[in-house]
Amino acid sequence: MKSIIVDDEQLSREIIRHMADQIPAIEIVGSFSNAMQAIKFLNKNEVELMFLDIHMPEFSGFDLIETIKSPPKIVMISSDRNFAVEAYEYDFIVDYIVKPIEFDRFKKMFERIKKRYAKKENVAKPSTNGEQTITDDKLYVNIDRRLVKIDIPSIDIVEAKGDYIKIKTDKKNFVVHCPLKRIEEKLPKDKFLKVHRSFVINIDKIVDIEDNSVLIKRDVIPVSKGNRNELRKRLNLL
């Protein structure tokens, strides 16, 4: 896995390189003391993983992320715990390690990356209708600066409410600052369907259907005309 290190502290760069050298699958192809050096390298070279510090003079780690067009997988490394929630807003940030770094934590990070991406490559295969079926059954949402885990099969309905969404589950409801489209993309398409501009539903939770609505528990959900045929295709009709 071709990797680079971006950290303004020389000692930190040396520690990360030393730990990476003990994992044969990680190949350090560049080490940089500032973001601009890293950007120049990334413009000419492809890497799979970047170890990135947050606090750097003039150009922070987050500034770097916003600048590059196609970021690789990123492990944020910082002495500051306060940016962990913000970091996980980015799909390509795969881990957040707080300094001082311990080798056991470093190894755990790499095992997590291997497991996560092996699962995506081997399990999330195209279904017969050309859609991706995601089998990972966990979703993490940012609520009050905390990452809260939700079991995807427990989700009944996702409802758009302005800039927020309400996720209704078997046991609890969650209000999250997130567009409906973003969560729709993360839910398995063989189980969830957008039936209205404001609603995504879990098809398995449907109790009753009328021409222009479905019943999920006690909630009557409108079904727009354009989505009725797709809903019928998804159901096991006699």
Which domain, by its residues, includes 149? Answer: 138-234
- Asked if residue 115 and residue 72 are part of one domain, the reply reads yes
- Asked if residue 103 and residue 158 are part of one domain, the reply reads no
- Asked if residue 117 and residue 7 are part of one domain, the reply reads yes
Boundary residue ending a domain (123, 152, 172): 123
- Give the pLDDT of residue 162: 83
- Give the pLDDT of residue 136: 59
Phi, psi (rounded to 5 degrees) for 74: -125, 135
Boundary residue ending a domain (99, 123, 147): 123
What pTM was estimated for this model as a whole? 0.52
* Within-domain flag for 128: no
Provide the 8-state DSSP code for 132: B
CATH of the domain at 14: 3.40.50.2300
Q: Is the dihedral of CA 93, 96, 101, 103 positive or negative?
A: negative
Residue 168 has pLDDT above 70, yes or no: yes
- Asked if residue 161 and residue 86 are part of one domain, the reply reads no
Q: Render pLDDT for 180-215 as a digit per residue (tens, 0 to 9).
A: 888 888 888 888 999 999 999 999 999 988 878 999
Boundary residue ending a domain (94, 123, 152): 123
Cα–Cα distance for residue pair 150/133, rounded to 1 Å: 18
- Asked if residue 180 and residue 85 are part of one domain, the reply reads no
- Asked if residue 219 and residue 176 are part of one domain, the reply reads yes
CATH of the domain at 156: 2.40.50.1020
What's the average model confidence in pLDDT over 12-31? 95
Q: Render pLDDT for 110-165 as a digit per residue (tens, 0 to 9).
A: 998 887 766 554 443 433 333 333 335 788 888 777 778 888 999 999 999 888 89
- Asked if residue 182 and residue 81 are part of one domain, the reply reads no
What's the average model confidence in pLDDT over 55-65? 88
Confidence at 236, pLDDT banded by 50, 70, 90: low
- Asked if residue 109 and residue 70 are part of one domain, the reply reads yes
Selected residue with higher pLDDT from 99 and 144: 99
Query: Token pair for residue 205?
Result: 């939770």
- Tell me how many domains the chain contains: 2
- Give the pLDDT of residue 39: 92
* Radius of gyration of the CA atoms of the chain, in A: 21
- Asked if residue 81 and residue 51 are part of one domain, the reply reads yes
Closest CA to 202 of 174, 165, 234, 161: 234
Is residue 12 classed as helix, strand or coil in its secondary structure? helix
